[in-house]
Amino acid sequence: MIVLPGRIPVIIHPLFWLFACIIGWIIGQSLLGMLVWVGIIFVSVLFHEFGHALTAVIFKQKTRIQLVALGGLTTFEGPKLKFWQQFIITFNGPLFGFFLFLIATALLQFTWPVMMTKILKMAQYANLFWTIVNLLPVLPLDGGQLLRIILEASFGIQGFKASLLIGAILSALFALYFFLIRAYLAGAFFFLFAFQSFESWRRSRFANASDRDEENRQMMMRAEEALNAGNTTEAKRLLDEVRQKANGGMLAHAAQQYLAYLDYKEGHKKEAYELLLPIKEHLADDALCMLHELAAMEKNDSLVIELSAKCYQIDPSQKRAIDNARAFAREGKAKHAGGWLQTAWHYGSFALSQLLQEEAFKKVSNDPEFQRFLEDLK
């Protein structure tokens, strides 16, 4: 990883060079052609990102540029930006790319050696092409960000959700077009954009306005940094604040899951259970499996039964199968209780006779269906 320090630090990840070389080789078809294209890609992407970064600095943001696998990324933090400021910061990236096109066009008016003329024409083409493509209303391209800013400024959180759905549909159409004309690399990129936008739209169903609040998002980032640094006290304080301020949105749910995980890790399992139970419809897979385990400890059999198949599919284990068997048995569901015991037995034998002495299995112990499953275990 290369780090160029300065007012606007530039971080160049190794994958940037790898992908630039791959694209350069596909277009250039030779070692020299590849090296020329790597240089053009590097200058063009960096110039584009400086368009974002320099504008952000004007608006008193602390910013940095990262060159990553599929292009560039400019991140910034500082005073809350108005929508028109966000729009200008976003638009100035493609604008700087267009400036490069104009510079290459102007230089081509002079006489140059053949190789230099070819390089200028390549730079001219690359920057015009990328400027046009990057303004398509598709996330994560700048055109998609501009659409998002306009719709969110006009319609709030619903506008944000609409931008994701529009981006997913348009990306899918562009992917189909490129596949039909056999431009498979471009088609693959737009297919990836379509998938990402659709997944973001699907997850955003439960988002509210507080999830788009920059202060809440920054606070969540600081909480995650505190967690990674092992500062659980500060992390808990920040997570609890996010939970209060985010007001039932996706950030609040994420903060609540983090808090439950910390309580569970510290042995406060009752507290973890009470945090997860109210938001069970919004839990990530690992948190859902934690809730299943905690529900079994609390003997919330209806919830264990509700989550039994899904959680076993996510994280299969003998213990989970036995927890499911106990819950079904207490509810008098002999067939299911026997089936889960049989599933648990596949992991290896356990003290079956001792398990059957538990209060949980008394209701089904003499049921013929349950006994048939037990016969298979002997």
Chain segment 57-87, per-residue pLDDT in tens? 999 888 989 888 778 888 888 888 888 999 9
What pTM did the predictor assign?
0.68
Q: How much of the chain exceeds pLDDT 90, in percent?
A: 43
Would you give the distance in Å from CA 246 to the centre of its chain?
19
Nearest by Cα to 50 from 107, 9, 101: 9
Residue 64, φ and ψ in degrees, nearest 5: -150, 155
Is residue 300 predicted with pLDDT exceeding 80?
yes
Tens of pLDDT, residues 94-128:
999 999 999 999 998 888 888 888 889 989 988 99
Which tokens sit at 353?
């006779």
- Three-state DSSP state, 212: helix
H/E segment holding residue 365: none
Distance CA 16, CA 186 (A): 18
Would you give the distance in Å from CA 52 to the centre of its chain?
23
Cβ–Cβ contacts within 10 Å for residue 192, how many?
14
Angle between helix axes 14-28 and 31-58 (nearest 10 degrees) is 130
Contact indicator for 342, 377 with CB cutoff of 8 Å: yes
